[in-house]
Structure 1
């Protein structure tokens, strides 16, 4: 399977305009590591400083995605691994085209719970479909869009499972997988981060939530400052 993957770009889907001024931040990690908590804290911090923020998730960040989410996470019957990967890619294509790219083109900060790195980790490694194949599929689906920053919250899967147990909620299809599956997912996330250290910020999710939030805010502020500097230069020219 081969896909032609375009260069990463912030141009709105189907538009011919130049790069937008938005910022794209994704949160990754295993189930139960605190992605939702840190996404909400980052949103609160940005809004308090006057930024326009869109907080979203995958799967299920669009109307079509809500239907796909129910299939991939809650369908009681068997979903073949390749079908699962394709469903996630379909959700991602619709979500980026109809929700994320338009927000970036308006200059918003997009905070997203899971993106293509989750597919590489869960389907590529966990389902043993292959890193390159799953990554190329996702990049083709989103026309090459990569985040400015990916925050990887790393936690031992057994500790994460204890957190999920404490929530006393039914497990979805992926959460219910055995320990070896989640070990493979964690190892793949760390390998992805090691291969792309400029994009990834890897944090120990066992640390105090407020301290994690401070580290994330510091990295995002650097990106915002860099964006503003580039915008000032473009205006001057």
Structure 2
């Protein structure tokens, strides 16, 4: 089973993942993330910091995804393990379709076409939704540096993209109010994962 955690920066994904590591320790999920689980992911993060060409950046994300599937996700699923990924393809559709505006005629279609035929669709995706002003407050409180995605106008459009994706696939997406207490969110998510596992 492939579970993904999505949401704009500052929505609480990292906090939720940390909680799930402890809460689900008895079923030993494989925790991973995009980008970052492969050596290509390290280059993606470098590209983000250096603000490279948006098309080059998007292709790095796609390359990292391919390596991630090959080295982490497919082997784990083959071994019947639960995989929980902090970000996945939906992040690409939400973020890169925004950064590619003005560079490609139809960024969403381009990104979708690139992933067709070889990616793995998650069994369930938890989407943390939070007012952008609140997410920016959280980001500023946690660190001094920021990425080029982390500005109000970009994050508003990214969240809109996420919600549009959830409307297209309502069975897969579970929308979570990220302003709720973190322990409440953790309990809710962990219970759904356990229920889906037992079905």
> Which of 5, 8, 11 is 1:33 aligned to?
11
Alignment of 1:1-237 (within 5 A): 23-47=1-25, 50-71=26-47, 73-75=48-50, 78-128=51-101, 129=104, 130-140=107-117, 143-175=118-150, 178-226=151-199
Tell me the TM-score normalised to structure 2 length: 0.92
| Per-residue deviation, residues 105-131 of structure 1 (Å, max 9, x unmatched) | 112211111111111011113432522
* Equivalent-residue separation in structure 2 for 1:35 and 1:26 (angstroms): 10
* Equivalent-residue separation in structure 2 for 1:99 and 1:69 (angstroms): 19
Distance 1:100 1:223, change over 3 A: same
1:112 is paired with a residue of what secondary structure? strand
Residues matched between the structures, number: 195
| Per-residue deviation, residues 162-216 of structure 1 (Å, max 9, x unmatched) | 00111133112322xx321111101010110111111111001000001111211
1:84 CA displacement: 1.4
Structure with greater Cα Rg: 1
CA contact (8 A) 1:100 1:110 kept: yes
| Per-residue deviation, residues 68-112 of structure 1 (Å, max 9, x unmatched) | 3222x222xx42221111110001001111111111111221111
2:61 is paired with a residue of what secondary structure? helix
* Equivalent-residue separation in structure 1 for 2:113 and 2:131 (angstroms): 28
CA contact (8 A) 1:117 1:135 kept: no
Consecutive unaligned residues in structure 1, runs of 5 or more: 1-22, 227-237
Tell me the TM-score normalised to structure 1 length: 0.78
* Equivalent-residue separation in structure 2 for 1:54 and 1:139 (angstroms): 25
